[in-house]
Amino acid sequence: MASFSKPATLQVGDRVRERKSLNCYFAQPGSANYRKTCSIAADRRQGRIVEIETRVISNGRACTYLHILWDGATRATPHARQRIELASSATAVRDTLP
């Protein structure tokens, strides 16, 4: 019996960003700091994938982690695949790796 796996949607070198995870639930629309607070919550880091790793988590399942070098950072940090999306959803912009 052949095993089939899903095609990888993200590859090393892809430009990615964090998925939106915060909304402005904690700011009142009429408050003076509403615009500032919402812009901070909407600001998401962007970077490039330098490594893809599969880890076995505590319940025994395999989970994909991406090592991402964020813009302005010196070291790559691991992040779960479900927290990341392509920087441009229409086209994947790739950087050339050194």
Give ∠ CA 60-64-69 in degrees, rounded to 5.
Answer: 140
Interatomic CA distance for residues 1 and 63, integer angstroms: 23
Distance of CA 16 to the CA centre of its chain: 6
pLDDT in tens, 11-63: 898 999 888 765 666 666 777 777 777 776 667 889 999 999 998 989 999 98
CB atoms within 10 A of CB 18: 16
The confidence band for 95, taking pLDDT boundaries of 50, 70 and 90, is very low
Interatomic CA distance for residues 47 and 15, integer angstroms: 6
Please tell me whether the overall predicted TM-score, pTM, comes out greater than 0.75 for this model. no
